Structures are given as structure tokens and as C-alpha cells.
Amino acid sequence: KEKAREESLADLKSSFYCDLCDKQYLKHAEYDNHIDSYDHAHTQRIKELKQKESAMKLSCGKQKDDKQNEKEMRRISEFADSR
């Protein structure tokens, strides 16, 4: 019985946990207030910005690699044409 009680208590506690902000709430109302708060929204915006930045860096890096490969291919073809 105690195991079942502990498991249900753990489930209940996890239902009021914000993964994004790493905060635990005991009451549903507190959790709802947190979700509607500026701090939560700010943390969410920061996370989204970081994701966009990393995606931009990846795409820029890929474009640079593509340009370098294209340049190298031109050099190889010019060398082959000159021979």
C-alpha cells in the first residue's frame, strides 16, 4: 500500500513540474500562475532564441562548406583543363 501511495504522490508532484524552468509546485493554482508568469515566458523566449541561433549557425556553416567545396571543384577543373 505504501509503495502505491508513494507512486501516486510522485505522479501528482510531477504533474505540477515545469521542465523548462526546473520548478516544482505543490498546487495546481501555483503551477498555472507560473505558466502565465513573465519569468516562464522569458525563459521560453530565451530557449527559442538559442534554438534559432544554433539553427542559423548550422545553416551558415553548411553554406560555407558548400562554397568551399564549389571553389575546390573549380580549382580542380581548371587544373584539369590546363593539362
Average pLDDT on 31-48 reads 95
The C-alpha atoms of residue 74 and residue 68 are separated, in whole angstroms, by 10
Overall pTM surpassing 0.85 (yes/no) = no
Average pLDDT, the chain: 85
**Phi, psi (deg, nearest 5) at residue 30:** -65, -40
Look at the alpha carbons of 49, 53, 58, 60 in this order and tell me if their dihedral is positive or negative.
positive
Q: 13 in the Ramachandran plot: left (φ > 0), alpha (ψ -120 to 50) or beta? A: alpha
Q: Give the residue-averaged pLDDT of 17-43.
A: 92
Q: Are 43 and 21 in contact (CB under 8 A)?
A: yes
| Pairing label, strands 23-24, 17-18 | antiparallel
